Chain A
Amino acid sequence: MSLVEFLQIWIIAFFTLSLFSFLYKDNPFYKLAEHIFAGLSAGYYVGLIWESVILQQMIDPMFNNGKWWLVFPGILGVLMFSRFSKNYSWISRISLAFVMGTTAGIFLVSELHGKVLPQIQATMKSLDPSQGFAGFILALIIIVGVISTLIYFYFSKEHKGALGGVAKVGIWFIMISFGAHFGYTVMARISLLIGRVQFLIDDWGGSIVQLFS
C-alpha cells in the first residue's frame, strides 16, 4: 500500500467515524465533518454547472458555433443575482418570469401527454385476454388500485358512502405500497451501512494491521 493510498484510507476513515459519532451524540467531530460535507456538496454542483451548463451550453456555442444570442439567457441568469440587493431585487423577477412561463408551458403539455395519458393507457392495456387468468387477476389489482388510489386523493367531496368505501380500499393499497417502499428503503440503507462497515474493517483495519506489522 502506497503512502497516498494509506492517507486516502485514513482520511475517509476519519470522516466516516466522525459522522457515525453522531449516533452517540452531537460532537465537534461530527459538526466538522457535516460542515465540510455541506461545503463539498455545494462546491461539487458549482463545478458540475460550470462545465455542463455555462461552458458547454453557453460559452462554447457562443464563441465556437456563432450562437451569439445565447448571451440573452446569460444576462437573464446574471439578473438573478440582483436578489442580493434590496433596491434592485425586483429585476430578478424578469428571469424568474421567463423560467416560470417556459416551465409552465412545458409542464402543461408534458404532464398530460407524457404522464397522465400513458399511465391511463398502460392501466387499461393490462386487461389483455391473452395473459390468462393470472394476468386477469393482476390487471384487476392494478385497475382497482389505480382507481381507488385516485379516489382517496380526491378531496373535493366528503369520503362518505360508496366514495368512502372505495377510498378505504385506496388506503389499503397505499399502505401496501408504502410498506413495500419502506422495506426497500430500509434494505438500501442497510446495504450502504454494510458497505461502510466493510470499508472500516477491510480497508482501514487492513491499513492498521499493515502499520503494526
Chain B
Amino acid sequence: MVVSFFFRAEGSFLGRIEPEILSWVTIVGGFTLLLGVVSIVRVNYTAVKRKADGWGYKLATLISVFVIAIPAMLPTGWSDQFGRGDGSIYKWLFNYLDAPMMATMFAMLAFYIASAAFRAFRARNAEATLLLITAIIVMLWRVPMGEEFLLSIHPDIPGWINTYIMGGANLAVQRGIIIGAALGAAAMALRIMLGIERTYMGK
C-alpha cells in the first residue's frame, strides 16, 4: 500500500490493484464483524443451555439477534418483508425498537452527565474554573433562551463564542490532538510493518 501510494499511475498494475486490496480488507473486515456477533450468540447460547443466572435475559438477546438478522439475510424475491428495504421486518425493528431504545439510552446519559458535572465542575483550581466557564458559556449559547441572555449583555457575544472559542481555542486543540494521534498511528504502522509490534498476533 505504501509503494502504491507513490507509483499508482492510472492504468498501471499498482493503480489497479490498490482498490482491489482495499475491497479485500473491507470483505475480511465484514467477516470479522460477523465473527463478533457469532461470539455473542455462542456466549449467550452457552449461558441459556447451562441455565446460568439471568438466562432468560440472554435468551431474549438471542431471539432479538435472530429476529432482526435472519429476515434481513433472506432474499427479497421471497417476500417484501425480507431484506433491508422499506416495509421489511428489519426496517420495522430498527425504526420502532432499536432506534427509540438507542435514543433513550443516550438520553439517560443526560442524567449521569449532570451528576458527573456536579462533581467535576467544582472550581478547585484555574484549569477546572476555565473548563467550568467554557462549558457554561457553550451550554448557554446552544439554547435559544441562553443566547437571548448573552445577546442582552452584548450583541456580539454569540459571534465571539463561535469565532474565538469554537473556531479558535477548540479548533486549535482538536488540530493538536489530530496531529498527535496521526503521528502516533503512523509510528505504530511503521512498528507493525517492521515487525517490532506483534501484540496483535498474541505475542
Complex A-B: 29 CB contacts under 8 Å: A11-B96, A11-B97, A12-B97, A16-B104, A19-B108, A35-B58, A40-B98, A43-B64, A51-B83, A53-B30, A57-B23, A74-B31, A84-B39, A99-B32, A100-B192, A101-B193, A103-B25, A106-B1, A108-B1, A115-B182, A119-B178, A172-B126, A172-B130, A175-B134, A176-B131, A176-B169, A179-B133, A180-B134, A196-B100
**A109 touching B172 by the CB < 8 A rule?**
no
Q: Which residues of B contact A (CB under 8 A)?
A: 1-2, 5, 21-40, 42, 54, 57-58, 60-69, 72-73, 83-84, 90, 93-94, 96-98, 100-111, 113-114, 117, 126-128, 130-139, 141-143, 163-180, 182-183, 185-186, 188-190, 192-193, 200-202
Which residues from B are CB-within-8-Å of A6? none
**B54 touching A177 by the CB < 8 A rule?**
no
Q: How far is the CA of A32 from the CA of B25 in the complex (A)?
A: 36
How near does chain A come to B106, taking the closest CB pair, in angstroms?
5
Q: Which residues of A contact B (CB under 8 A)?
A: 8, 11-12, 15-16, 19-20, 22-23, 31-51, 53-54, 57-58, 70, 72-74, 76-78, 80-81, 83-84, 93, 95-109, 111-113, 115-116, 119-120, 122-123, 134, 138, 141-150, 152-153, 170-187, 189-190, 192-193, 195-196, 199
**B96 touching A109 by the CB < 8 A rule?**
no
